[in-house]
Amino acid sequence: MLFALIESFRSAVISIYAHGLRSFLTTLGIVIGVASVIAVVSVTQGMSSFIGDTFASLGSNSLTIQSYTPFEDQMKGIRARLTPEDLELIVRRSEGVASITPILYANRSSQIKFGSQTAFSQIMGTTYAYQEVSQSYMSVGRFIAQSDEATRRRVVVIGDKVRENLNLPDNPLAEYVEIGGEWFKIVGLMKPKGDIMGFSQDDIVFMPYSTMRSLQGNQARTDIQIQLSLSESANVENVVQQLTTLLRNAHDLDSDEDDDFQIQTAEQLMETFDTVINMVTVVIGGIVSISLLVGGIGIMNIMLVSVTERTREIGICKAIGAKRHHILMQFLIEALLLSLLGGLIGLAIGYALGTLISNSIPSFPPASIPLWSVALALGFSGFVGVLFGILPAAKAANLDPIDALRYE
């Protein structure tokens, strides 16, 4: 049996080599299908890995609390909010919290000016604790201090992208920028964090939380975001349950009502991104996998032609003692080799294509191919070869030796 297997393999290699161009055109559908799938997977998995590393840098003990309003309620004009009173309640009554800070985004213009230069950036008010909660670090100068918060001082800390957009000097300390018609002194420059999914993490401006509130005026419906980090001994699930109970009671929610807020950890955010990316990978991969079926049909057609061309050869083999399973094995192995050859070529092209795509997009994470995708691509290629090679192989094996020898 081993000898028959080796001879079938040798015969398949010789046949494929003898008809090189035809063999390549036969496997073209498999090549395109595998290359498309690998390119999609390599790009999305590279992005997923990069996002995972980004969120991992936030630490597993950080929480973000923000308001949540279902789309149906938003259409009715209903908006859930987190208020400064909610922040004070958490500060007073929560346990296991190491640092906590509010975040208040500018609700009007996000325009910032320096001389004749104008830029639009994300402007947010926060406190000195933000630096510890978000694990942000300074490149030059200092972050917002408690005294800035207490006196509503007009000072800002900027990201490197803001400095670049406004053509500020490399050391922008003591320079003044205009925000909302008021002048702010730059006291610090953040260390660059780079881009994530095409969005710059350095295009941001920080000012004291109390200063931002004063700029927005006396608004009874202020909606803030709360970020906090936990102490080393704190249990994340216990703290989340505790915060949920505090906020539900503060918002007078009945037991049958859903939360009007969200409490998310860095791990949950990462899982959300992974879910979205995996769904996109499956959908796009499923679409481009159709070409694998087209390639399989091409293999079946060529193998049927090959059976017709080699009818007399099959008759001679049977006349000198070849069994049905020997002929079946010979043609099935040939179809399998054609399919796997296309899979290997498609694998190389797909990785090259994914690398080209990731390198052509500025700040895009590098392509990455997990082992499961390689095994899946080659396994599916082999499956397609066997599936569409069975019919031609069975036709060859079932030929009558006398009729085959008479065939012209």
* Positions of E strands within 111-203: 111-114, 117-120, 122-126, 138-141, 155-158, 176-179, 182-190, 195-196, 199-200
Q: Which residue from 304, 224, 291, 382 is spatially nearest to 39, judged by alpha carbons?
A: 291
Look up the pTM and report it. Answer: 0.61
Beta bridge partners of 228: 63, 100
Please give the pLDDT value at position 286.
Answer: 73
Beta bridge partners of 196: 199
Contacts 24+ apart (CB under 8 A), 47-50: 47/197, 47/277, 47/364, 47/365, 48/273, 48/274, 48/277, 48/278, 49/365, 49/368, 50/196, 50/365
Structural domain includes residue 74:
no
Quick: pLDDT tens for 385-396: 777 777 777 777
Please give the pLDDT value at position 25.
Answer: 77
Is the separation of the CB atoms in 173 and 141 below 8 Å?
yes
Structural domain includes residue 269:
no
- The yes-or-no verdict on residue 114 having pLDDT over 80 is yes
Domain boundary among 229, 259, 289: 259
Structural domain includes residue 264:
no
Please give the pLDDT value at position 173.
Answer: 92
Please give the pLDDT value at position 176.
Answer: 93
Residues 116, 217 share a domain: yes
- The yes-or-no verdict on residue 88 having pLDDT over 80 is yes
Structural domain includes residue 60:
no
Which residue carries 């009818």 as its tokens?
A: 311
Mean predicted confidence (pLDDT) in 332-360: 83
Ranking 113-122, 379-388, 391-400 by mean pLDDT, the lowest is 391-400
**Of residues 287 and 132, more confidently modeled:** 132
- The yes-or-no verdict on residue 202 having pLDDT over 80 is yes
Q: What is the largest CA-CA distance in the chain?
A: 104
Q: Which residue from 381, 395, 361, 307 is spatially nearest to 46, judged by alpha carbons?
A: 361
Residues 311, 248 share a domain: no
Instruction: Tell me how many domains the chain contains.
Output: 2
Residues 38, 103 share a domain: no
Please give the pLDDT value at position 35.
Answer: 85
Is the separation of the CB atoms in 312 and 405 below 8 Å?
yes
Please give the pLDDT value at position 407.
Answer: 54
Q: Which two tokens stand for residue 5?
A: 């297997």
Residues 358, 319 share a domain: yes
- The yes-or-no verdict on residue 273 having pLDDT over 80 is no
Residues 106, 33 share a domain: no
Residue 324 structural domain: 2-54+276-406
Structural domain includes residue 67:
no
Please give the pLDDT value at position 109.
Answer: 64
User: Quick one: how far is CA 11 from the chain centroid?
Assistant: 45
**Of residues 77 and 31, more confidently modeled:** 31
Residues 135, 41 share a domain: no
